[in-house]
């Protein structure tokens, strides 16, 4: 069984993330979406809320599992017996950091490799930070996130 892990903050999940989830889930038997529970990051949504939101919008994809994790990604991948880590690349600015992380993770856990999905062009500008910025200023986020999450995100800023 080929297991992949797609790790991230997903604070909140965007249509760009969902696009990567749909495309990468076709290449593995099981895709574990790993929600980073890093208390240092001061996220808008708790890890539990982020897991719940991702479960809601991926409920129609069969081979998905969503869970939160703390600590080293390479360690999480080893425990889950994952062969690949999935990451997304939007622009050259993502590249340097992603390359370093992929190399560190491979160094720590040689059984795991990172594969990259280039963003679909329509989502190349999209990040969780953009969504939060627009929602904070009461802008329309309906083309950035799954429609069923719009009200929930807006409510955080009321």
Rounded distance between C-alpha atoms, residue 50 and residue 18, angstroms: 13
Using the rule CB under 6 A, is 20 a contact of ligand ADP? Answer: yes
Q: Please tell me which residue in 41, 42, 107, 137 is annotated as part of the active site.
A: 41
Interacting stretch for ligand ADP, rule CB under 6 A, among 21-29, 61-69, 118-126, 136-144?
A: 118-126
Is 90 noted as a catalytic residue in this protein? yes
Rounded distance between C-alpha atoms, residue 21 and residue 87, angstroms: 10
Q: Are strands 84-89 and 113-118 parallel, antiparallel or unpaired?
A: parallel
In the chain, which ranges are E strands? 3-8, 30-36, 64-69, 84-89, 113-118
Is 132 noted as a catalytic residue in this protein? no
Is 106 noted as a catalytic residue in this protein? no
Rounded distance between C-alpha atoms, residue 110 and residue 74, angstroms: 9
Q: Return the structure tokens found at 29.
A: 């038997």
Number of residues that bind ligand ADP (CB under 6 A): 16
Interacting stretch for ligand ADP, rule CB under 6 A, among 5-13, 62-70, 74-82, 133-141?
A: 5-13
Is 128 noted as a catalytic residue in this protein? yes
- At a CB cut-off of 8 Å and minimum separation 6, what does 50 contact? 9, 10, 11, 12, 13, 35, 43, 68
Out of 3, 4, 10, 145, the residue judged to bind ligand ADP by CB under 6 A: 10
Using the rule CB under 6 A, is 126 a contact of ligand ADP? Answer: yes
Using the rule CB under 6 A, is 67 a contact of ligand ADP? Answer: no
In the complex, which residues of this chain contact ligand ADP (CB under 6 A)? 8-10, 14, 16-17, 20, 87-88, 90, 94, 119, 123, 126-128
- Would you please indicate which residues are annotated as catalytic (active-site) residues? 17, 41, 90, 128
């Amino acid at each position: 069984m080929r297991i992949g892990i797609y790790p991230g903050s997903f604070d909140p999940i965007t249509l760009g993330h969902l696009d990567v989830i749909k495309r990468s889930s076709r290449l593995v038997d099981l895709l574990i979406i790993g929600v980073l529970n890093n208390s240092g990051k001061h996220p808008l949504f708790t890890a539990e809320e982020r897991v719940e939101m991702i479960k809601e919008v991926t409920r129609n994809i069969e081979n998905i599992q969503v869970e939160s994790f703390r600590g080293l990604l390479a360690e999480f991948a080893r425990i889950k017996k994952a062969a690949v880590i999935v990451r997304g690349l939007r622009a050259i600015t993502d590249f340097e950091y992603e390359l370093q992380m992929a190399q560190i993770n491979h160094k720590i856990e040689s059984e795991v490799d990172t594969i990259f999905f280039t963003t679909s062009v329509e989502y190349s500008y999209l990040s969780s930070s953009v969504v939060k910025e627009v929602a904070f200023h009461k802008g329309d986020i309906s083309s950035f996130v799954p429609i069923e999450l719009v009200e929930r995100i807006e409510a955080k800023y009321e």
